[in-house]
A and B are shown apart, each in its own frame.
Chain A
Amino acid sequence: MLSVTGLSKTFPGVKALSSVDFTARAGEVHALIGENGAGKSTLIKVLTGVYQADEGEVTYDGAPVRFATPLQAQHAGISTIYQEVNLVPLMSVARNLFLGREPRGRLGLIDFRRMHRQADEALRDLGLRVDVRRPLRELGVGAQQMVALARAVSVDARVVVMDEPTSSLEPREVRTLFGVIRMLRERGIAVIYVSHRLDELYEICDAVTVLRDGKVVHTGRIAELDRLRLVALMLGREIADVRQEGLTKFAGSHDTEAEPVLEAHKLTIRHQLHDVSVSVRPGEVVGLGGLLGSGRTETAKAIAGALPTDSGHVVVAGVRVRTGSTPAAIRAGISLLPEDRKAEGIVPGLSVRENIALAALPGLSRFGLVDEARIDRIVDTFMKRLRIKAASPHQKVGELSGGNQQKVLLARWLAMQPKVLLLDEPTRGIDVGAKAEVQKLIDELADDGLGVLLISSDPEELIEGSDRVIVLKDGAVVEELTGEAVTEDRLMRAIATAPAASAVAATGTGTGPGGHDD
């Protein structure tokens, strides 16, 4: 139905896709998986006309095509359902469903009676009963997602692309969605399904294509690929017997008897986290493992107050911190180095000095006036200690390399004298040399008595860098690896485990063997 051959796409500095072959067949649900940066979204965007391929050919319905805009792809019968609902919340359900193709009566005026009836029928077909005249935003996220789906299939779609459609759905809504997907399959529609939830993939998909670093590493029937192998393919690891290799060199070096400096207790965020408990002792590096979308980033953000939690609490050095408030978390001594440093961290137009001083400013000013000499001292200290390579403290951060930008961010948070450091993918996008330096720094910081929570998609980094690893899956803790169990092999096995119960998003299954409850 829709296929690509030899597809390549390069962005400045990155080869996002290189000679990718991919085929979605009619009446088949095809899983497209891969870790962050593997090229999934680029591939989808080429298929749906958002990007143009540099090389390679897209064939649709037996003929080569080139979609210049998403609209062209839509007209050709390729519909996309995005992770975030892309509808207009203030408009009614029916208006959203029919925007741009409203049934019209005399004088070209919209025939609302007919539109409402057709909208109602279309949604009933998907098992959704709502008042189609009400604004879309009165519906739950799941119901909104179903409206998006109804819109996608009602335009005579022949290919439906779903980008993580279940990420905000309740288990019950997931069942409804799967019902619809099966219906689409029976109608001979090709479905491309992107998700990180392995259980879902095995339940609904027929075929699977695994992408890694812009290349197809596997394609075939999903039933012929076991879970562990799938995880290994995604992460790019071989399941050899590496049990002893990554033996915990850090384990003995830290005082495991010390009271935890950070205790997060049963953090829960609807659809995202279920009873996640994490504790970090001073001088300890605790890894958060799991696939993309398993709740790693959400856990860090919830601890740092950047995501409001529905229940659960955070304790730093014995004092309870108000959740949902970044200032409160910072005051308590929690610093978060965010995942996306361009969007959430550095201010590229400001100098190294200004970037470092930014968060610490309130503490460095008196009567609203900034104490320049103290800032110079602090900046100087950290530039030396973190070995930040810049022409001068006044160089713009935007001109530095990725690794040095990351160090500037680290310096900013260290200037706050935190007790706990949360690092979300601290080495992503920086070159190998800088990576090793940042890793070394993390180690040094822990030796200085800081509690560190490390998130990394790189299993090697996670295993080597952490004293303990807490493995998350679908927003819940599935296992905690301690001591000799901190190996890549065990990590992948934990990620690949099938759920004990049939529920897709059950509550946390405790902290696993060898774990401790706080």
Chain B
Amino acid sequence: MTTDVDTPVRAKNTPEEEPSGAGRSERLSALAQQHGALVTLIVAMIAASLSFDTFLTGDNLENMALSSAFLAVVALGMTFVIVTGGIDLSVGSLFALGGVLAAWASRYGTVVALLLPLAVCGLIGLVNGLLIARSRLAPFIVTLASMLGARGILLSVTDEGSKTYLVDKESFFAKLGQGALLGVGVPVWITVALFVLGAVVLRRTRFGQYVYAVGGNEDAAALMGAPVARTKISVYTLSGLCAGLAGALNAAWLASGVTILGSGMELEAISAVVIGGTLLTGGFGFISGSLVGVLLLKVIQNVINQIGSLDSAYQQVVSGAFLAVVVIAQTWLGRRRRVL
């Protein structure tokens, strides 16, 4: 978008409603919302690299990038859902299910190994969307149910988790997870490509406008002729697809479908999206912010791991505290804007 002009052209007939100071501080708080996470990420990375010699090494960065990639793909789908004002708790289970299905299907070739998890997870996402949009059930409950359901399918596929399917390390599918291009892992490239695509879809397509409109004011969106139900169904399907794909890529990387992965991932993804500046109440958010949010969470985890003396359980304490700060800041900024 072009934002060349910075001087506000105010509504001629309501000058007293918008003193120039109000416009400016409104803009400042919008900037804080938009780039706060990015600034924090940069500061955190500088501090970490000054404190630990091991932080800014190729190995460490690559590890962080790879482990971020899978969460990032899940957070991508989650961003769409949260911008519509919804929530998707099923993604952690779908991530694990996608991984196991991909590992099992990898014996039939790469295409099947990718399509099977996408089909199953996409279908579950579609059912989520249908129940939420058509039957008007609460997203929280619907996706909680499918989170449990998907876990159940996962357990039955793996004989209560006792069976682990392995991926042939020489297969092309394994390369998708383990290979590298120009020194950067393939999953990272895929993630970057998906984020560019996601950003274009959200910002530059009519569908993207509907996503914002539905989250911003559902009744108004309906009165303006936006296909509210179709938009909701689409975002939950998309979220399911993203979770399935992330699971499949993760299986390729690990060369096996690990059943215990993915629990709690839905909360991690939601945290990343919210930290990235997307409003949990919907109607406002950015794809790029979610990527920054994921990276920030991973840097915090990495730093705490580097401080060997700290129990790794503190990761969650710090991540949780961070999330609380962001949400408080968002509420505060939002309230201030309403007052102005």
Pairwise interchain contact B13-A91, C-beta atoms closer than 8 A: no
Query: What residues of B have a CB within 8 angstroms of the CB of A131 in the complex?
Result: 5, 8-10
Q: Is B17 an interface residue (CB 8 A)?
A: yes
A88 touches B14 (CB 8 A): no
- Nearest opposing residue in chain A for B337, CB measure: A137
Give per-residue flags for A325-369: 1 if the beta carbon is below 8 A from chain B beta carbons, else 0. 000000000000000000000000000000000000000000000
Task: Point out the residue from A89, A104, A138 that lies within 8 Å of B18, measured CB to CB.
Answer: A138
Q: How many A-B Cβ pairs are below 8 Å?
A: 114
In the complex, what residues of B have CB within 8 A of residue A80's CB? 223
Interface membership of chain B positions 262-289, coded 1 if the CB is closer than 8 angstroms to chain A and 0 otherwise? 0000000000000000010001100000
User: Within 8 Å of chain B (Cβ to Cβ): is A514?
Assistant: no
B162 contacts the other chain (CB 8 A): no
Q: Is A473 an interface residue (CB 8 A)?
A: no
Interface code A82-93, partner B: CB below 8 Å = 1, 0 otherwise? 100011111100
Q: Which chain B positions have C-beta within 8 A of A142?
A: 11, 13-14
Shortest CB distance B270–A (Å): 20
* Interface residue? B296 (CB, 8 A): no
Residues of chain B within 8 A (CB-CB) of A130 are: 9-11
Assess the A109–B200 pair: CB atoms within 8 A: yes
Q: At the interface, yes or no: B3 with Cβ under 8 Å from chain A?
A: yes
Name the one of A90, A109, A110, A173 contacting B284, with C-beta atoms under 8 angstroms: A90
Whole-angstrom distance between the alpha carbons of A88 and B214 in the complex?
A: 9
A36 to chain B, nearest CB (A): 22
- The reply to whether the CB of A95 lies closer than 8 angstroms to some CB of chain B is yes
Chain B residues contacting A96 (CB-CB under 8 Å) are 224
Asked if A170 and B14 make an inter-chain contact with CB atoms under 8 angstroms apart, the answer reads yes
Q: Is the pair A173, B14 in contact by a Cβ cutoff of 8 Å?
A: yes
A133 to B225, CA, bound (A): 22
Give the segment of B45-53, B153-161, B204-212, B304-312 that binds chain A.
B204-212
- Is residue B226 within 8 Å, beta carbon to beta carbon, of the partner chain? yes
Residue of A nearest to B201 (CB): A109
Q: Which residues of A449-471 have CB atoms within 8 Å of chain B's CB atoms?
A: none
B2 contacts the other chain (CB 8 A) = yes
> Is B219 touching A172 in the complex (CB atoms < 8 A)?
no
Is A74 engaged at the interface, CB distance under 8 Å to the other chain? yes
How far, in whole Å, are A113 and B200 apart by their CA atoms in the complex? 16
The reply to whether A99 and B11 form a contact with Cβ atoms under 8 Å apart is: no
Task: Decide yes or no whether A102 CB sits under 8 A from chain B.
Answer: yes
Q: Type the 1/0 row for B102-141, where 1 means its CB is closer than 8 Å to any CB of A.
A: 0000000000000000000000000000000000000000
Whether A90 and B205, one on each chain, are in contact in the complex, defined by CB atoms closer than 8 angstroms, is no
Q: Are B12 and A102 in contact (CB under 8 A)?
A: no
- By the criterion CB–CB under 8 Å, are A143 and B226 in contact? no
Q: How far is the CA of A137 from the CA of B340 in the complex (A)?
A: 10
Specify the chain B residue showing the minimal Cβ separation from A132: B9
Contacts of B320-340 to chain A: CB distance below 8 A: 337
What's the Cα separation between A131 and B1 when bound, in Å?
14
A513 within 8 A of B: no
Closest B residue to A50 by beta carbon equals: B223
Query: Which residues of chain A have C-beta atoms less than 8 A from B224's C-beta?
Result: 86-87, 96, 99-100, 151
Task: State the CA gap A131–B11 with chains docked (Å).
Answer: 8
* A139 touching B213 in the complex, CB below 8 Å, given contacts A90-B284, A108-B205, A151-B224: no
- Chain A positions within 8 Å of B9 at CB level: 129-131
Tell me whether A134 and B8 are in contact in the complex, defined as CB-CB below 8 angstroms, given that A88-B212, A100-B226 are known contacts: yes
In this assembly, does B54 line the interface, its C-beta being within 8 Å of a C-beta of chain A? no
A85 to B: closest C-beta gap in Å:
8
**In the complex, A112 has a CB within 8 A of chain B:** yes
**Chain B contacts with A in 168-225, Cβ cutoff 8 A:** 200, 204-206, 209-210, 212-213, 216-217, 219-225
Known: A70-B223, A130-B10, A173-B13. A102 touches B216 (CB 8 A): no
- Whether a CB of chain B sits under 8 angstroms from the CB of A258 is no
Do the beta carbons of B283 and A88 come within 8 Å of each other?
A: yes
- In the complex, the chain A residue whose C-beta lies closest to that of B214 is A88
**Contact between A100 and B206, CB atoms less than 8 A apart:** yes
Judge whether B152 is part of the interface by a CB distance below 8 angstroms: no
List A contacts of B279 (CB < 8 A).
Answer: 90
Q: Is A19 an interface residue (CB 8 A)?
A: no
CA distance A109 to B216 in the complex (A): 21
Alpha-carbon separation in the docked complex, A88 to B211 (Å) = 11
Q: Are the C-beta atoms of A100 and B17 separated by less than 8 Å? A: no
Question: Is A71 an interface position by the 8 A CB rule?
Answer: yes
Is the CB of A140 closer than 8 A to any CB of chain B? yes
Interface centre among B23, B30, B223, by most chain A C-beta atoms within 10 angstroms, is: B223
A137 to chain B, nearest CB (A): 8
Query: How distant is the Cα of A89 from the Cα of B213 in the complex, in angstroms?
Result: 9
CB contact under 8 A between A91 and B213, given known A131-B5, A133-B3, A138-B18:
yes
Question: Are the C-beta atoms of A176 and B220 separated by less than 8 Å?
Answer: no
B62 within 8 A of A: no
Q: Give the Cβ gap from A96 to chain B, nearest Cβ, in Å.
A: 8
Q: How far is the CB of B330 from chain A (nearest CB, A)?
A: 13
Taking CB as reference atom, which chain B residue is nearest A88? B216
- Distance in angstroms from A376 CB to nearest chain B CB is 38
In the complex, residue of chain A having the shortest beta-carbon distance to the beta carbon of B227: A100
Interface: A128 (CB within 8 A)? yes
Q: How far is the CA of A139 from the CA of B226 in the complex (A)?
A: 23
Closest to B223 in A: A86
- B-side contacts of A6, CB under 8 Å: none
Given A89-B217, A91-B283, A100-B224, A140:B18 Cβ within 8 A? yes
Q: Is the CB of B200 within 8 A of A88?
A: no
The answer to the question of A499 belonging to the interface, with a C-beta cut-off of 8 Å to chain B, is: no
Contact among A88, A89, A112, A140 with B11 in the assembled complex (CB-CB below 8 Å): A140
Query: Which residue of the partner chain, among A110, A113, A170, A176, contacts B2 with CB atoms under 8 Å?
Result: A113
- Chain B residue contacts of A112, Cβ below 8 A: 1-2, 204
Complex contacts, B284 vs chain A, CB 8 Å: 90
Q: Which one, A86, A113, A170, contacts B220 given CB within 8 A?
A: A86
Quote the shortest CB–CB distance from B201 to chain A (angstroms).
9
| Residue of A104, A137, A172 touching B13 (CB-CB under 8 A) | A172
Q: Does A318 contact B (CB under 8 A)?
A: no
Among A91, A112, A135, residue most surrounded by chain B Cβ atoms (within 10 Å): A91
Inter-chain CA distance A143–B221, complex, in Å, is 19
A88 touches B213 (CB 8 A): yes
How far does the Cβ of A433 sit from chain B's closest Cβ, in whole Å? 39
Closest CB of chain B to A476's CB: distance in Å?
Answer: 20
Decide if B216 touches A91 in the complex (CB within 8 Å).
yes
Residue of B nearest to A116 (CB): B2
* A127 sits at the interface (CB 8 A): yes
Whether B23 lies near A99 (C-beta < 8 A) is no
What are 7 A-B pairs at a CB distance below 8 A? A87-B220, A91-B212, A91-B213, A130-B9, A138-B26, A139-B17, A140-B14
What are the 9 tightest A-B residue pairs by CB atom distance, in nearest-first order? A140-B17, A88-B216, A140-B14, A143-B11, A90-B283, A86-B220, A109-B204, A90-B216, A88-B217
With contacts A91-B212, A99-B226, A100-B226 known, what are 20 further pairs, Cβ within 8 A? A70-B222, A82-B223, A86-B219, A86-B220, A86-B224, A87-B220, A88-B213, A88-B217, A89-B217, A95-B209, A99-B209, A99-B213, A99-B221, A110-B209, A127-B13, A129-B9, A129-B12, A140-B11, A170-B13, A172-B13
